[in-house]
Amino acid sequence: MNTFEINKMTTTERLETMEAIWDSLVRDETEIDMPDWHQDILDERRLRIERGEATFFSLDELKSGNGR
């Protein structure tokens, strides 16, 4: 399937296809390595938490816009 064929699909068909692909990936036990830059971000966030520099917001604060 190519981009041209995908663009001819309805939105519902594309969403159903994406869901089927996601389901197949979830069941696939092949491990995909995390990119180095992902680990760098996680490491920096962990350091900020350890230093007491991190700010946390509740889900309600984020939904209300107060967590910005």
pLDDT of residue 67 exceeding 70: no
Which of 16, 17, 19, 15 shows the shortest CA–CA distance to 27?
19
Query: For the whole model, what pTM was predicted?
Result: 0.49
Tell me the C-alpha distance between 30 and 1, whole Å. 23
pLDDT of residue 41 exceeding 70: yes
Percent pLDDT > 70 in the chain is: 97
Domain boundaries, the chain: 1-32, 33-68
Q: What is the pLDDT of residues 25-37, one digit of tens each?
A: 888 878 888 899 9
pLDDT of residue 68 exceeding 70: no
pLDDT computed for residue 1 by the predictor: 84
